[in-house]
Amino acid sequence: MEANKTLLQLQSLNKQYGNDEPAIKDIDLILPQGQVLALIGPSGAGKSTLIRCINRLVEPTSGKVWLDNQEVTGLSKNSLRRVRRKMGMIFQEYALVERLTVMENVLSGQLGYVGFWQSWLRRFPQATIEEAFRLLDRVGLSQFPDQRADALSGGQRQRVGIARALLQNPDLLLVDEPTASLDPKTARQIMRLITELAQERGLGVILNIHDVQLAQRFAQRIVGLNQGSIVYDGSPNGLDANTLTDIYGEEDWTTPQEVEA
């Protein structure tokens, strides 16, 4: 795709659960190809809901989602399955099958491409298997293809999730709190890996993250949500004390953040 081409567009996107206050309200957003965008905001601000409305793991109440000029909202189940191939998802809790090996979990990223019996029998094209090995090497897991997922550390599991998402050959990565369960050093390594891979492959990335400092360090653009609405959309350098108050509420933002043990 062309640089700076619009990859994703959200138009007046809303999600309301029953009679509760809307989880997201009239979200308008354009993501260019190749940009890494971090969603920040307090718990309950609508970050995870927004990500899941994009690939319709959560159905929006109203509004439209466009991916590469194709409207995602309103697609039939079969058409949605084809479009989801272009949207890789990386989860906070990894979403791995614990009893399967690293390689088997990575290959599950191809389930949207192969037939039912091929996936049931775990028969994948040789080219797909070779690409899975290349991805494992790229994410630093070349020595672990036969290791069961339940024997891995949190950082290693997240790397498996990244490789699985990339095996889909997506245009867009949706990343939901990838560092929430990780120690500070591993969190930085995972963020660095995601942004490097996005740059190498020209991917657009929308990343939900609680750690503002990590967002500022690795994202090209910050979108701040509060009570389901966008209250900031701009450069990481624009997150001054007033802006952080708009996003999170009153706090002494001049005090350095404590480093986790």
For 216-243, write each residue's pLDDT tens digit. 999 999 999 999 999 999 999 999 989 9
Q: Which domain holds residue 99?
A: 35-41+83-248
Which has more confidence, 260 or 22? 22
With a pLDDT cut of 70, the percent of the chain lying above it is 90
**Integer Cα distance of 83 and 95 in angstroms:** 20
In a domain, 49, yes or no: no
Tell me if 5 is assigned to some domain.
no
Q: Are 149 and 91 in contact (CB under 8 A)?
A: no
**Considering its fold, how many domains does the chain have in total?**
1
Question: Each residue of 132-155: pLDDT tens digit?
Answer: 999 999 999 999 999 998 899 988
- 13: Cβ contacts below 8 Å, ≥ 6 apart: 24, 26, 27, 28, 29, 50, 53, 60, 62, 63, 64, 65
Q: What is the distance between the alpha carbons of residues 33 and 168, in angstroms, rounded to a whole number?
A: 17
| Domain-embedded: residue 56 | no
pLDDT in tens, 56-73: 999 999 999 999 989 999
* Dist CA 260 CA 258 (whole Å): 6
253 within a domain of the structure (yes/no):
no
Judge whether 159 lies within some domain.
Answer: yes
Rounded mean pLDDT of 26-35?
96
Task: Give me the CATH number covering residue 202.
Answer: 3.40.50.300
Domain annotation covers residue 161: yes
Residue 66 lies in a domain: no
Q: Which one-letter DSSP state was computed for residue 148?
A: B
> pTM score > 0.85 for this model?
yes
Q: 210 in a domain, yes or no?
A: yes
Which pLDDT tens digit goes with each residue over 86-138? 999 888 776 788 888 999 889 887 765 555 445 545 677 888 889 999 999 99
Q: What is the DSSP letter of 98?
A: T
